[in-house]
């Protein structure tokens, strides 16, 4: 006898989980390019592996990597600004301010108050991924 037939609650929860997975995979596909694994540090991957799926540990890993990626973004921004004319500097400043507003608003959406502890992870990971992607984008503009 299949497991799901013997336990209706498990069957219902499994179907619910499958539906959520299908929906979240389509919603999680960002409109921007995801950073490649090589853009994120090896220590981040090791930290996430070591976290064992513990929410607090995962947050610590994401926070540390975000700090690294944010530093890289700022270095790339400053290097690009040093190469631009005054008019282009103003354009980049405006674009960067708007990008920060978009990133924060976009990632705040992931922090669904009904999403449990993983909603916080999803929101933090969104900020990390978008920051790493923007750091790469600014480097590519040089």
18 and 57 part of one domain: no
Same domain, 95 and 40: yes
pLDDT tens figures, 33-46: 455 556 899 999 99
Q: What pLDDT score does 37 carry?
A: 54
Distance CA 134, CA 142 (A): 13
| Residue 57 and residue 24 share a domain | no
More confident residue, 32 or 48: 48
Q: What is the b/e burial string over 60-70, where b = at least 16 CB atoms within 10 angstroms of the residue's CB?
A: ebbeebbebbb
In which domain, by residue range, is 1 found? 1-30
Phi-psi region of 38 (alpha: psi -120 to 50; beta: other; left: phi over 0): alpha
> Are both 128 and 58 inside the same structural domain?
yes
Q: Tell me, yes or no, if the pTM score tops 0.75.
A: no
Q: Are residues 81 and 118 in the same domain?
A: yes
**73: its two tokens:** 């973004």
Measure CA 48 to chain center: 14
Segment 71-86 shows an average pLDDT of 98
Same domain, 23 and 67: no
Q: Are residues 24 and 43 in the same domain?
A: no
Residues 110 and 40 in one domain: yes
Same-domain pairing of 26 and 86? no
pLDDT the model gives residue 35: 58
Instruction: Count up the domains in the chain and report the number.
Output: 2
């Amino acid at each position: 006898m299949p497991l799901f037939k013997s336990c209706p609650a498990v069957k219902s929860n499994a179907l619910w989980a499958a539906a959520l997975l299908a929906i979240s995979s389509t919603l999680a596909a960002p409109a921007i390019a995801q950073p490649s694994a090589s853009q994120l540090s090896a220590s981040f991957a090791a930290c996430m592996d070591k976290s064992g799926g513990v929410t607090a540990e995962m947050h610590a890993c994401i926070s540390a990597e975000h700090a690294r990626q944010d530093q890289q973004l700022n270095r790339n921004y400053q290097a690009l600004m040093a190469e631009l004319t005054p008019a282009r500097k103003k354009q980049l400043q405006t674009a960067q301010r708007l990008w920060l507003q978009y990133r924060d608003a976009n990632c705040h959406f992931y922090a669904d108050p009904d999403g449990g502890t993983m909603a916080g992870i999803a929101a933090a990971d969104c900020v990390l991924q978008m920051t790493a992607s923007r750091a790469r984008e600014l480097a590519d503009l040089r």
